[in-house]
Amino acid sequence: MDTQTRRRGRRQARLWVLPLALLLVQTEQVGAGALERAMLGKSMVVDLTHVVTERAPAGGGQDNPRPEVLAEEDRNSTAQRLPLSADLATHLDLPASIVKGKPTVAQVPAREFLVHAVLVDIGAKVAQTPDYRATVEDLQAWERRNGRIPKGSAVLLHTGWARRWSDAARYLNLDAQGVPRVPGFSPGAMAFLISQRDIRGVGMDTWGAEVPPGTHGGDDGMRPLLQAGKWQLVNLTNLDRLPAKGAKLVVAPLRLEAGSAPARVIAILP
């Protein structure tokens, strides 16, 4: 083989190296999981959890958390804690909160709190009717745009209610009888998600209060959900930053021997 032929072969080899390297990099990025991409700064991470302070809205007869002094090392430094109930602020409700014998938060395997999420946005309707409840038609309209709601997913309902968080009276929105008028899922929509889509659970940017059946945003939607073995997240925030589909949820409740627990909820975007 003459010198010119060898040089031409080396040039051709170099021309193949760059595309191959680019292909390997792209393949590695595509193959990387959501967590790896987030850790590398290639995916956006959104915290869906409200900051808990003594001003956090409290419903259902609860008292607002009050700071307690733990220790005082000097006049300029004071350590405090906020005593919390299991269902204050952003929290998780499991079937065990209403059904005896069901696994508590401490007993549920951690992998059950890693889930694909879809986002249904009813904010425009809630702006017109504050206690609007999502219907089966709302869910079917979402599916016409985005495809079937996946089995085992978490369905998050964006209502825009989180904007009221700083004003407890507006967030609780109690009527003259003390019933909260907040948006949520209708019983029909909840039955559809449970029986026809077999979801893992739901999440809302409103609070799920224990109120008489038949009132908007209340217990009529929660009980069938929990009785069917599903869970719910309430008092979420930043849902407006999530896409309609593709986000992954990391739900991290306190490991309590109880049916409910405060939770840090994190979304990893695609």
pTM for the structure as a whole: 0.78
- What average pLDDT does the structure give for the chain? 80
Q: How confident is the model at residue 52 (pLDDT cuts 50, 70, 90)?
A: confident
**Rounded-to-integer distance, Cα 258 and Cα 107, Å:** 9
User: What is the homologous superfamily of the domain 68-268 according to CATH?
Assistant: Putative cyclase (3.50.30.50)
136-146 vs 187-195: helix crossing angle, rounded to 10: 50
Q: How confident is the model at residue 127 (pLDDT cuts 50, 70, 90)?
A: very high
Q: What is the mean pLDDT of residues 237-258?
A: 95
CA distances from 196 to 139, 141, 199, 226 (A): 12, 15, 9, 16
In this prediction, residue 147 carries a pLDDT of 97
- CA dihedral sign of residues 61, 216, 155, 168: negative
Least confident of 3-7, 77-81, 88-92, 142-146: 77-81
- Domain residue spans of the chain: 68-268
Q: Which of 175, 229, 228, 184 is nearest to 207 (CA)?
A: 184
**Rounded-to-integer distance, Cα 82 and Cα 130, Å:** 31
Q: For residues 13 and 107, which has the higher predicted lDDT (pLDDT)?
A: 107
